[in-house]
Amino acid sequence: MNERRLPLDIIGALILGAALGLFYAWTLAPVQIIDSAPAALRADFKNQYRAAIAASFASNHDLARAKARLALLADADSYAALSAQAQQMLAAGESFASVEQVADLASALRGPPPTNIASSESPTPISFEPVNSTQNVTSAPQETLPPFSTEIPLPLFSPTPRPTRTPVPAPGAPFALVSQESLCDESLPDGILQVMTINLDGRQLPGIELIVSWPGGEEHFFSGFKPELGNGYADFNMAPNIIYSLRAADGGAPIENLSAPSCTAANGESFFGGLHIVLKR
Residue 189 C-beta-side C-alpha neighbours within 13 Å: 14
Mean pLDDT of 163-179: 65
Going from N- to C-terminal start, the domains of the chain cover 38-110, 176-280
CATH class of domain segment(s) 176-280: mainly beta
Percent residues over pLDDT 90 in the chain: 25
Residue closest to 107 by CA, chosen among 221, 176, 202: 202
pLDDT in tens, 100-122: 888 889 888 887 655 444 444 44
Residue closest to 196 by CA, chosen among 127, 110, 140: 127
Q: Give buried/exposed letters for 231-240 (b at 16+ CB in 10 A, else e).
A: bbbbbbbbee
**pTM score of the predicted model:** 0.45
pLDDT in tens, 44-102: 888 988 999 998 898 888 899 999 989 999 898 888 889 889 888 888 888 888 888 88
Residue closest to 191 by CA, chosen among 259, 118, 102: 259
Rg over alpha carbons for the chain, rounded to the nearest Å, is 27
Length of the chain: 281
Which is higher by pLDDT, 181 or 167?
Answer: 181
The bridge status of strand 192-198 relative to strand 274-280 is parallel
Residue closest to 48 by CA, chosen among 98, 87, 105: 98
- Phi (first) and psi of residue 236, to 5 degrees: -150, 145
Angle between helices 78-91 and 43-60 (to 10 degrees): 100
Which is higher by pLDDT, 118 or 36?
Answer: 36
pLDDT in tens, 143-155: 555 554 444 454 5
Residue closest to 134 by CA, chosen among 192, 197, 91, 195: 192
The H or E element that residue 270 is part of is strand 270-272
pLDDT given at position 245: 94
Q: What is the DSSP string of 48-74?
A: HHHHHHHHHHHHH--HHHHHHHHHTTT
